[in-house]
């Protein structure tokens, strides 16, 4: 079993890294870091654009909460000019993470929604419906189509966003390579993600290969992509030729 509980800097091993543009990649450690991650998640929540302010509390909890509460040691921020301009959250063992999430995060959040701690908006209804099996979840549907070896060969996953003003400057690449290096240092063989069509070329340029795909509504597809840690591409999807999705899709 892949260990995931080593503390912050000791687990990451490498010191914070700053590139020539002054972007510093480091583990997310403080409450301020996680608040900045939540805000950036909402500022990029609609295909890279902001979502409505009233959706922020629950939306941030849905996308950031599980990582902050269950795997905070695998969070990273990109810092420039004293502010967070990008983040990456993830974990080295997705199967274990999903099991822990169901008990330690999903059930408590459903209760908080039921007692009115969050607005019962479309996000809340969708989350409750998916977790109670009343609404089909695109990512879960896609996972059912993927070969069993995906969990073995690409056990880690990630969720990443970059501020609009910092895009095209190598921030996403730097975050991903730092994460991949730390995974490799822990013996993790590969990582996967889920994204939409717009983000797919970016990840393909970084060595990700198609693992599967799903058209979850007419004309809208999500893709599962995988990469061997260290930048060595893994095997393709095999004879089925599927293409797919992951936890960062929105």
Task: Give exposure, 173-186, as e/b (b: 16+ Cβ within 10 Å).
Answer: ebbbebbbbbbbeb
pTM of the model: 0.84
Task: Fold for 22-228, please state it.
Answer: Aminopeptidase (3.40.630)
Q: Does the structure show a pLDDT above 60 at 145?
A: yes
pLDDT for res 236: 40
Domain boundaries, the chain: 22-228
Q: What is the pLDDT of residues 68-102, one digit of tens each?
A: 999 999 999 999 999 999 999 999 999 999 999 99
């Amino acid at each position: 079993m892949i260990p995931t509980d080593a503390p912050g800097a000791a687990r990451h091993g490498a010191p914070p890294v700053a590139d020539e543009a002054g972007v510093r990649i480091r583990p997310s450690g403080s409450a301020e870091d996680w608040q900045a991650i939540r805000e950036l998640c909402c500022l990029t929540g609609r295909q890279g654009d902001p979502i409505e302010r009233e959706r922020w509390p629950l939306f941030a909890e849905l996308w950031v909460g599980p990582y902050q509460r269950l795997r905070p040691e695998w969070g990273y921020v990109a810092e420039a000019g004293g502010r967070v301009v990008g983040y990456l959250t993830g974990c080295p063992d997705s199967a274990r993470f999903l099991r822990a999430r169901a008990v330690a995060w999903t059930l408590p959040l459903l209760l908080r929604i039921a007692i009115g701690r969050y607005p019962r908006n479309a996000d809340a209804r969708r989350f409750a419906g998916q977790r109670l099996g009343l609404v089909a979840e695109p990512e879960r549907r896609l996972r059912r189509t993927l070969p069993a070896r995906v969990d073995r060969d690409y056990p880690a996953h990630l969720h990443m966003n970059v501020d609009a003003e910092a895009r095209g400057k190598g921030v996403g690449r730097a975050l991903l390579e730092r994460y991949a290096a730390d995974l490799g240092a822990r013996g993790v063989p590969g990582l996967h993600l889920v994204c939409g069509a717009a983000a797919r070329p970016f990840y393909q340029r970084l060595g990700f290969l198609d693992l599967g795909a799903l058209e979850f509504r007419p004309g809208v597809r999500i893709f599962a992509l995988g990469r061997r840690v260290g930048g060595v591409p893994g095997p393709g999807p095999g004879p089925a030729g599927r293409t797919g999705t992951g936890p960062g899709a929105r």
